[in-house]
Amino acid sequence: MFKFSSIILLAALSALIVTPAQARSRSFVASYGNDANPCGPFAPCRQFDRAEDVTDPDGEVVVLDSADFDPITITKSISITVPSGIYAGIAVPSAGTFGVTIATPSVNVVLRGLTINGLGGDAGILMTAGAKLSIENCVISNFSITGSLVNQHGVLVQTAATVRMVNTLIRDNDIGIEIQAGATADISGSKFLGNPAAGIFANNSIAGKTTSAAISNTVVVGSGIGIYALADTATASTKIDIIRSIVSNSGIGVAADSAVGTASVSISKCMVTGSSLQGLSKPFNGTMTSYGNNTLTNNTLDVAGTLTTAAPL
């Protein structure tokens, strides 16, 4: 009986060993990994791109220990997960490069626990195609090139994707996050610190589309414009809703701007403070609606333009 059980156990282990790498629902990377490995927990890969190659769509790449990793272009629906207490960093050292690039239609990508550092790169995360992007517990910083004629971004989304950002730090980039082209973002529990052009920027120049963002429990500090809605094409629209958030020490705290098109911002239970120019700004034909319980304090000018007030529902 013992011999029979041993044979069964050996057969089961052999089946695990010969399972083809391309049929893996979960793969692993580590500082001691090797990209010639099958990316299993006992024989991890070294880089994210190799692990993605051998992971099934909708699978997961897990980081086993603290390490630096190369930038990655993601081409399938996948999650990259860095467990708590582990550092996984991507450095982006040169102009024209990005930490994470997503350019494949219909993919769903989850990034959890990554640190992405700009050392001359153009963006921490660039999404030009795809369905969904979730950024959770990440740090994205230092995407700002001295002397550059264009802005660098922590996150830049240029497609009509659904973007979710939770508990993430976006620091010292030209623009913290910019969403364009009909993207929809939900940003909660995050911090945007020292992004001098803009902290959160919803921008639309495509006729007939709406770019929108819902922002909650978020702090935006030290931006040229803290939270910015811009529509600059006829029939294009941009919409931002803000609740329970703080915008401080910016040039303009919150702005809705649409010389053409329609840009609207609603704000409720928020504080806008320390703006060197204007707290709430509505140039041209934008709409700024306050649902009450907002605090405007220590701004050079609390409100520029007409503020629409509405009772909370």
Q: How confident is the model at residue 120 (pLDDT cuts 50, 70, 90)?
A: confident
Domain ranges for the chain, please list them: 58-309
3-class secondary structure, 10: helix
- Give the pLDDT of residue 3: 40
What does the alpha-carbon distance between residue 176 and residue 154 come to, in Å, rounded to a whole number? 5
Q: And the tokens for 58?
A: 């909708």
Provide the whole-model pTM: 0.88
Q: How confident is the model at residue 23 (pLDDT cuts 50, 70, 90)?
A: low
What does the alpha-carbon distance between residue 182 and residue 190 come to, in Å, rounded to a whole number? 22
Does position 111 have pLDDT exceeding 50, yes or no?
yes
Which of 175, 169, 190, 163 has its CA nearest to residue 115?
Answer: 169
What's the CATH fold of domain 58-309? Pectate Lyase C-like (2.160.20)
Mean pLDDT (whole number) for 221-247 = 92
Q: How confident is the model at residue 29 (pLDDT cuts 50, 70, 90)?
A: very high
Q: And the tokens for 99?
A: 């930490």
Which of 105, 99, 103, 107 has its CA nearest to residue 79?
Answer: 107
- Cα→Cα distances 195→122, 199, 282, Å: 14, 5, 21
Mean pLDDT (whole number) for 280-308 = 86
Half-sphere exposure of 199 (CA within 13 A, CB side): 30
Q: How confident is the model at residue 313 (pLDDT cuts 50, 70, 90)?
A: low
What does the alpha-carbon distance between residue 284 and residue 263 come to, in Å, rounded to a whole number? 10
| Among 189-193, 260-264, 298-302, the least confident range | 260-264
Which of 168, 190, 112, 175 has its CA nearest to residue 142?
Answer: 175
- Give the pLDDT of residue 312: 66
Percentage of residues in the chain having pLDDT higher than 70: 91
